[in-house]
Structure 1
Amino acid sequence: MSILKDITRPVFPFTAIVGQEEMKLALILNVIDPKIGGVMIMGDRGTGKSTTIRAIADLLPQIEVVEDDLFNSHTSDYELMSDYVKKKVENGDQISTSLINVPMIDLPLGATEDRVCGTIDIEKALNDGIKTFEPGLLAKANRGILYVDEVNLLDDHLVDILLDSAASGWNTVEREGISIRHPARFVLVGSGNPEEGELRPQLLDRFGMHAEIRTVKEPSLRVKIVEQRSQFDTNPFGCIKQFQLKQDQLKSKILNAQKLLTHVNIDYELRVKISEVCGALDVDGLRGDIVTNRAARAFAAYQQEDNVTISHIKQVIVLCLRHRLRKDPLETIDSGIKVEQVVNKVFQ
């Protein structure tokens, strides 16, 4: 039985994925700086959305967590600690830790609010006077990735809860006069097919980035993708071994970017230009400005540079703004192209 437990299901290597550069970049930047606010991936069926998202989680280095803690608590970062661990730290108690893979949590479409947020065992609370918290998916996703497939079909109320937790980094459960609060800092990744319905604009706006995925049209590329997948299905471990060096290189690049991020500087003039673009596009609120600044700094860190340049901004700004434009039914121009036109005008 223990032998079976040790065998992990092989995951398609991230560096083996052909094309879909927009989606890959958006995921990498969110992993470098989770405060970007997640990514919404909209695209055709069968374009490798789920495969890519599972692959990015598998690529990430292991994290150190407090042993026997329900929330993957950090050992030194107060913002990522549960109240129980905070008390132990304040009392100077010994804390044992272990290394785990970055949590990758799938949220099923039929999930209830209790399943997502967690619930309080009322019977135990009333009989024994003990607050027993049954953690939900948000607790398990702390310091990891929460993936919602077909997010446009999920109940709006649940999407609201997810986005609130992703933005604040905390989840609060209030039941029968009992309140529990725990850290829930995760990268929220949603995917969907636009044919099955769009997400409400106010919910869409809460996602940091928006990647659009199209089916590859070029025959030679399609053949390459099919061959890559067939090779993996036939001999998964051989395929993983073949891409191991590339995987390790990308892993260390992401780790270096995470360390460098706090030192990356973005000049005042460039920040003004970003806000000028948002103003010219009539973007509601300031989320667009904030996310573009964050994403540009994360991309500069990914490129191992200390200062954000115009080329860094141009690389990420469409991903950050295209879903924030007001929809005009008579508009024939794609929102991404519209953003590019304004960017080229402002950054001449």
Structure 2
Amino acid sequence: MPFPFSAIVGQDRLKHALLCAAVDPSLGGVLVMGDRGAGKSTAIRGLAALLPELEANADCRFGCAPAPVSAWCEECRERKPTETVSRQVPMVDLPLGAGEERVTGALDLERALGHGEKAFEPGLLARAHRGFLYIDEVNLLEDHLVDLLLDVAASGENVVERDGLSVRHPARFVLVGSGNPEEGELRPQFLDRFGISVAISTPTDLADRIEIVKRRDAYDRDPDGFAKAWRRKDLAVRRRIVNGREALADITIPDEVLEAAARLCLALGTDGLRGELVLMRTARASAALAGKGEVTVSDLKGIALMALSHRMRRDPLESGDPQARIERAMAETLA
């Protein structure tokens, strides 16, 4: 029984980032860096637990959605399922020491050669399809797994090949990583794959710290009772997500807001155009959560830090604090 998402004290930026990713999974994932024990994994697991169930093809090992058919796995295309089932949104942990076969899945060569069967044991990427793949201490992940995740994140498909045999299946998930920046940095290519990034710290407000301890103690004493007490507020968060998803496609982005986003990225010197794209998608998701019909410059200001803080070039003459640089750039370009 995960700790209820709505019972988390503070960490509003982290919760907002996760909600935006839940409304629009195409954002590209969430990176959460900060102190140990600040609530990173608690928030991530709490969000996955409150999301509405998914509709999936019956007896599909990968949880393929009923539509579109073009996104089905090879097995679903062969058997053409007509029945569906409801399933919980997957929340899959990727351990740092996991071997490649555990992550991608394994082909059984003996059965393939001896019986002519393409026997495949799905891995963590298959289990995470249409859900969340969570990596704690992501900055310590081995390079070969980073390369693998980069390929799958770019294609949305996992391909396993061995001795002339191959199996492919859809693997689209929200990648969520957390870690302590003191333990090392992520490779630039991997860092760029995360749509939004949040830096969090241990709460310093005395009242917040006391309330956190009280709620955690109540949860540890009676997890079911505590979850039941927060059920109504968690359901309200779920309704916001569902409503946001339904409204997302209809939210407009005026040209002046697009121009403001481009000016901000130019001022910050972000590489490529991914900054503008993620900035607009995140602002659209934020507007959807707020029940708005169009994105405003105010929406840009509200999400600029988490969309751009990990995309800026390092300038030795500038402050090392990305928040200060972004706030200064917003004051100059979005006034």
Q: 2:198 aligns with which of 211, 231, 238?
A: 211
Indicate the residue corresponding to 2:62 in structure 1.
71
SS of 1:126's equivalent?
helix
Tell me if structure 1 keeps the 8 A contact 2:301–2:330: yes
Is 1:138 aligned to residue 129 of structure 2?
no
Equivalent residue for 2:27? 36
How far, CA to CA, are the matches of 1:164 and 1:293 in structure 2? 24
Equivalent residue of 1:306, what SS?
coil
The partner residue of 1:164 within 151, 159, 163 is 151
1:173 is matched with 160
Which among 36, 57, 64 is matched to residue 45 of structure 1? 36
Distance in 2 (alpha carbons) for counterparts of 1:333 and 1:198:
15
Letter in structure 1 aligned against 2:234 = Q
Give the conservation status (yes or no) of the 8 Å contact 2:260–2:297.
no
Name the counterpart of 1:113: 100
1: CA distance between counterparts of 2:102 and 2:287? 38
Q: Does the alignment pair 1:153 with 2:144?
A: no
1:15 Cα offset (Å):
0.1
| Long gaps (5+) in structure 1 | 1-9
CA distance in structure 1 between the aligned counterparts of 2:317 and 2:183, rounded to whole angstroms: 21
Residues of 2 paired with 1:70 and 1:284: CA distance? 39
Go from structure 1 to structure 2 and tell me whether the alpha carbon gap of 1:345 and 1:78 turns closer, same or farther (over 3 Å shift): farther
In structure 1, what is the Cα distance between the partners aligned to 2:69 and 2:331? 42
Q: In structure 2, how many angstroms separate the alpha carbons of the residues matched to 1:263 and 1:186? A: 23
SS of 2:95's equivalent?
coil
**Counterparts of 1:193 and 1:338 in 2: how far apart (Å)?**
22
Identity score, percent? 48
What letter matches 2:33 in structure 1?
Answer: M
Task: State how far apart, in whole Å, the 1-side matches of 2:154 and 2:22 are.
Answer: 15
1:50 deviates by 0.9
Indicate the SS of the match to 1:258.
helix
Residue pairs, 1:1-348, within 5 angstroms:
10-78=1-69, 80-89=71-80, 95-329=82-316, 331-348=318-335
Cα separation, 1, equivalents of 2:71 and 2:278:
22
Q: Structure 2: how far apart are the matches of 1:79 and 1:263?
A: 24
1:132 aligned partner, one-letter code: A
Contact persistence 1:116–1:136 (CA under 8 A) = yes
For the residue of structure 2 that corresponds to 1:324, the secondary structure is: coil
Conserved? CA contact 2:3–2:227, under 8 Å: yes
SS in structure 2 of the partner of residue 248 of structure 1: helix
Shift of 1:95: 2.4
What TM-score results when the alignment is normalised by the length of structure 2? 0.96
Deviates more, 1:189-198 or 1:111-120: 111-120
**1:195/1:218 Cα in 2 relative to 1: closer, same or farther (>3 Å)?**
same
Instruction: Give, in angstroms, the shift of residue 328 of structure 1.
Output: 3.6
**How much has 1:77 moved relative to structure 2?**
2.3
Give yes or no for contact 2:192–2:311 (8 Å, CA) kept in 1: yes
SS in 2 for 1:323: coil
| Post-superposition offset of 1:79 | 5.1
Q: Which amino acid in 2 is paired with 1:42?
A: M
Post-superposition offset of 1:201: 2.1
How many corresponding residue pairs?
Answer: 335
> What is the identity, as a one-letter code, of the residue corresponding to 1:83?
E
Tell me, yes or no, if the aligned pair for 2:112 and 2:118 is still in contact at 8 Å: yes
AA in 2 matched with 1:314: K
Mean Cα deviation higher: 173-182 or 148-157 = 173-182
Query: Which range moved further: 158-167 or 49-58?
Result: 158-167
Partner-residue secondary structure (3-state), 2:214? helix
Kindly state the Cα deviation for residue 330 of structure 1 after the two structures are TM-superposed: 5.6
Mapped to 1, the partners of 2:3 and 2:70 lie a distance apart of: 33
d(CA) in 2 for partners of 1:167, 1:15: 32
In the alignment, residue 235 of structure 1 is paired with which amino acid? D
Q: Give 1:202 shift.
A: 2.4
TM-score (norm 1): 0.93
Contact conserved, 1:37 with 1:167, CA < 8 A, in 2? no
- Alpha-carbon distance between aligned partners in 2 of 1:300 and 1:294, rounded to the nearest angstrom: 10
